[in-house]
Amino acid sequence: MRLARIAARDGVYTVQAARLVLFLGWWLLAGGLIASVAAGFARLNLLGLLVTGHLDWVHRPAPGACRGRSNGSAWA
């Protein structure tokens, strides 16, 4: 509202209006940065909730660990 009043009174191209626009721009930039960081942490938290167990890609189950396989291999 303050910016609108200044622009209506003195015109848009005043030093005070320019300072207010600059101030508003910095606040918007800072808010966008904070929102981006918060969204990144939220995604990491969601990923952490989805991947709860320990992932070990090298270890395979022992032969016969999976019942119902004809050859006893878990990877058949």
> Quick check: 30 pLDDT over 90?
yes
Helices 2-10 and 15-50: angle between axes, nearest 10 degrees:
150
Rounded Cα distance, 38 and 35, in Å: 5
* Mean pLDDT value across residues 58-76: 58
The predicted pLDDT at position 41 comes to: 92
68 confidence band (pLDDT: 50, 70, 90): low
In a domain, 74, yes or no: no
The predicted pLDDT at position 48 comes to: 80
Query: Structurally, how many domains does the chain consist of?
Result: 1
**Domain encompassing residue 33:** 2-47
In a domain, 13, yes or no: yes
Rounded Cα distance, 76 and 68, in Å: 11
Q: What is the pTM of this model?
A: 0.50
* Mean pLDDT value across residues 31-57: 83
